[in-house]
Amino acid sequence: MATMRDVAERAGVSIATVSFVVNDTKPVSAETRARIETAMAELGFRRNVLARALASQRTHILAIVFPALEHTLGTTALGVVTSAAVAAARAGFNLVLWPVSNDPQQLDEYVSSGLVDGVLLMEVTAEDPRIPALERREIPFGLVGRTADPSAHLFVDMDFAGAVREGLAHLEERGHRNIALLSGELASDQLVGYGPIVRTEGAFSEAMRERGREPVIVRAPQDPRSGRAAARALVADHPDVTAVLALNEGAVHGFLNGLVAAGRQVPRDVSVLGLATSEQATTTADPALSALVAPGEELGRASVAALVSHLANPADRVQRLVPCELRLAGSTGAVRTDAHPLRKEES
C-alpha cells in the first residue's frame, strides 16, 4: 500500500507538503497540489478519512437533505443531487443524501452527531422549520431554494418568476392572451408554503392582473390521472383559454392526454408550455413538450460551490437565481382565429 513518503518521492515534494494536501491543513499552490494529486492517483494512495478529519477538524462530508416522505425525488431533483455529488468530490468533499422527513427533530438528530461539515436543504418552504434547527446547532447550511425572507441565508434557487415572465412573453408573441397555469398540489402539511408553487403562482397572478385579466389557476396532484382531470376541469370552466403554463411535471403528460380526450389538439387548439420541467419530461410527452427547462445540474453544482466557499469564509454568503432555458418542441403555436379554441368539435 502506498504511503505519504511514496507520494512525496513521486511528486518531488516533502512529506509535510503531502500531508498538507491529504489533510487539507495548509494552503498549497495549485501546481504543487496537482503534482501530488497525480502522484496519489498513479500510486493508488488512499486518504485515511478519520486521520484527515482529526487533523483538519473537519469530516469533509456534506449532507443534502431531501424530504422523501413528503415529496417524490423527481428527475430534476435527482439531477440536483447527482451534480452536487460530482461537484463535492471535485472540491474534496463526500456528499451524503439524507432522505428524511421535513420534521426538524429528525434532522436535529442527524446533525447532532457531528458527522457533516455542512448541510444543503432541498424542497424549501416559506417558513422552513428545518432552518432554526440548523441555526441552533450552528451548522453551516445552504438552501437549494428560498424561504419567504431569504435575506439572511445562503441560497441558490431556480428563477421561477423569471420563467413565468419568459413563458408569458413566448405565448403572447404567438397571439395568446387567455392563458392559464397548471400548478401542483401537495398532500403533506409538512410542505405548506412550498417555494416553487408559491413563487410561480404569485408571479403568474401578478403578471395576469397587470395585463387586466383574472388569473386562471388549475391545481392537480403530481400524477397523470390528476392531470387528465385538470384538463377536463379547464375545458369545462374556462373555454376561452388558448394556452397553458404547466408547472406540474408529474401531471403534464396526463394533462396533454386529457385535452386530446376532450377533442382539443395541441398546439392547434391549446398551446402548452412547461415551466421548470426536466429535459426528460419534454421528450417523453406526446406531442414533445415545449418548456422552460429546469437547470437541475447547475443548481447542484452552484449550491455545493456556494457552501464550500462559505465553509472557507463564513462571510461569503452566495444568493443566486439560476434561469430556466426555453426549448421549443411541438406543444406551442399561434393562437387560432378561425374557431373558438376550446369549443368541442361537432361530430
All CATH 1.10.260.40 domain ranges of the chain, comma separated, are: 4-56
pLDDT at 347: 37
3-state secondary structure of 57: coil
Question: Domain spanning 61-158+296-325 has what CATH number?
Answer: 3.40.50.2300
Q: Which CATH number fits domain 160-294: 3.40.50.720, 3.80.10.10, 3.40.50.11740, 3.40.50.2300?
A: 3.40.50.2300
Residue 234 CB: number of other CB atoms within 10 A? 23
pLDDT at 273: 98
pLDDT at 341: 53
- CATH topology (fold) of 4-56: 434 Repressor (Amino-terminal Domain) (1.10.260)
Peptide bond connecting 150 to the previous residue in cis, omega within 30 degrees of 0: no
Give start and end residues of each alpha helix (H) in 44-186: 49-56, 75-90, 104-111, 130-137, 160-173
What's the whole-model pTM score?
0.80
pLDDT at 187: 60
pLDDT at 188: 55
Phi, psi (rounded to 5 degrees) for 243? -150, 150
All CATH 3.40.50.2300 domain ranges of the chain, comma separated, are: 61-158+296-325, 160-294
Q: Taking Cα atoms as reference points, which of 196, 191, 247 lies closest to residue 70?
A: 191
CA-based torsion, 141, 142, 143, 146: positive or negative = positive
Stretches in the chain below the pLDDT threshold 50 = 50, 53-56, 344-347
**DSSP annotation string for 170-225:** HHHHTT--SEEEEEE----GGGTTBHHHHHHHHHHHHHHHHTT---EEEEE-SSHH
Cell numbers for 244: 397553458
Residue 262 CB: number of other CB atoms within 10 A? 17
pLDDT at 48: 60
pLDDT at 325: 97
Cell numbers for 132: 432554526
